[in-house]
């Protein structure tokens, strides 16, 4: 029975191993037992790759949510600053007006 892929195996390494297995199977040089073993290894490598992709996708989603939350916080701060400016500034109180220089 084929052993599980090494958990430290990177996505790229797993894909390279999978491509090698496909070449071996497609060559037709291996016997039935060897082909079955290679197929089993391939199934495990595919599973390993999928788990890596799922983990990466989950992390990307988390980062996107964090980014959106930060953008929302930044927008809230700008809105609050604008409100403070509008509440605290009165053109009648300021003789220079909004377009005055100096």
Task: Sketch the domain layout of the chain as residue ranges.
Answer: 11-86
Q: Give tens-digit pLDDT for 48-86.
A: 999 999 999 999 999 999 988 888 876 666 666 665 555
Q: CATH says 11-86 is which class?
A: mainly alpha
Residue 2 has pLDDT above 60, yes or no: no
Please report the pLDDT score of residue 46 as a whole number: 97
Please report the pLDDT score of residue 38 as a whole number: 95
- Cβ 25 vs Cβ 38: under 8 Å: yes
Give the CA distances from residue 59 to residues 2, 55, 66, in Å, rounded to whole numbers and listed in that order: 30, 6, 11
Please give the average per-residue pLDDT across 36-56, as a whole number: 97
């Amino acid at each position: 029975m084929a052993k599980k892929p090494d958990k430290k195996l990177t996505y790229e390494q797993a894909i390279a191993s999978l491509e090698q297995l496909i070449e071996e199977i497609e060559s037709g040089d291996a016997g039935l037992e060897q082909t079955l073993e290679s197929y089993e290894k391939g199934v495990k490598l595919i599973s390993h790759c999928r788990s890596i992709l799922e983990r990466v996708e989950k992390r990307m989603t988390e980062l996107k949510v964090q980014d959106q939350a930060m953008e929302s916080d930044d927008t809230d701060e700008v809105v609050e600053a604008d409100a403070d400016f509008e509440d605290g500034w009165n053109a009648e109180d300021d003789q220079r007006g909004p377009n005055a220089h100096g």
